[in-house]
Amino acid sequence: MLYQSIFHQTFLSFLLCITTLSLVASDPTDGFTRLPLSSSNFQVQKPHDVPQDQRYTFSNGVHTFIVFNTDKPHTSTSNTKPRTEIRITGYDYTSGVWQFEGYFYVPSGTTGVCIQQVFGGVTAATTSQSRVYSGSLTHYLSPTLETNIYNKWYRFNVIHDVGANNVKIFINGVQKFNGNGRGADDHYFKFGVYAQDGASYRMESRWRDIKIFRR
């Protein structure tokens, strides 16, 4: 009976361990292949009449983006709102499953701004926009992905499955959004600051450890 009791306890412990492991969320990059990325893939877009170093810097591995709501667009012929962004080049895509990863930091006071985009779509210019409004990170205007984000670093992952017309967003490895895309088009990733309605006078985001994956 003693051996039987020990066996049962050991078996139950084993089952508990397996159950616990099954509840642990997998990393969003599992099953993906990381692609080579260098500074040559980073195209800076900033107000066309301002020197780049007044709106964008890269120091100690951190990209810092600043834009003001009174700034001009990134080209003299554009009618878009002001932005300071990096457009990732060399990895435009029209099919497949692609993933962007980076760590972002938004200082307090920044609001009404898009900090990351999946560009391209049939029904709109973008398939995904992650925006900051009053300290919350949102997918477009809603839903809210994370609250109280100011002055903290967050891991950010967005997965775009073109064929399934699906977008997933993860914050610190936890899925926060799973929804429809906006149709297959010529897509690419962008990150930085891009003013939206209700933009604060000064907008800033910082990014580090940028990676691109494909499955």
What is the rounded distance in angstroms from the CA atom of residue 47 to the CA atom of residue 67? 8
pTM of the model: 0.89
Q: What are the pLDDT digits (tens) for 43-71?
A: 999 999 999 999 999 999 999 999 999 99
Question: Mind giving me the DSSP string for 83-127?
Answer: EEEEEE-S--BSSSEEEEEEEEE--TT--SEEEEEEE--SSSSEE
Q: Judge whether 213 and 206 are in contact, CB under 8 Å.
A: no
Q: Percentage of the chain with pLDDT > 90?
A: 88
As a 3-state breakdown, the chain gives helix, strand, coil percent values, each rounded to 5, of 15, 45, 40
What's the CA gap between 214 and 22, in Å, rounded?
25
Question: With contact defined as beta carbons under 8 Å apart, do 180 and 3 qualify?
Answer: no
Q: Please, which residues bridge with residue 109 across strands? A: none
Query: Where are the chain's structural domains?
Result: 28-214
Using only the alpha carbons of the chain, give its radius of gyration: 21
Say if CB 155 and CB 101 are below 8 A apart: yes
Architecture of domain 28-214 in this structure? Sandwich (2.60)
Q: What is the DSSP letter of 60?
A: T
How far apart CA 215 and CA 182 sit, in angstroms, is 20
pLDDT in tens, 128-175: 999 999 999 999 999 999 999 999 999 999 999 999 999 999 999 999
Model pLDDT for residues 79-122, shown as the tens digit of each residue: 999 999 999 999 999 999 999 999 999 999 999 999 999 999 99
CA 164 – CA 26 distance, rounded (Å): 21
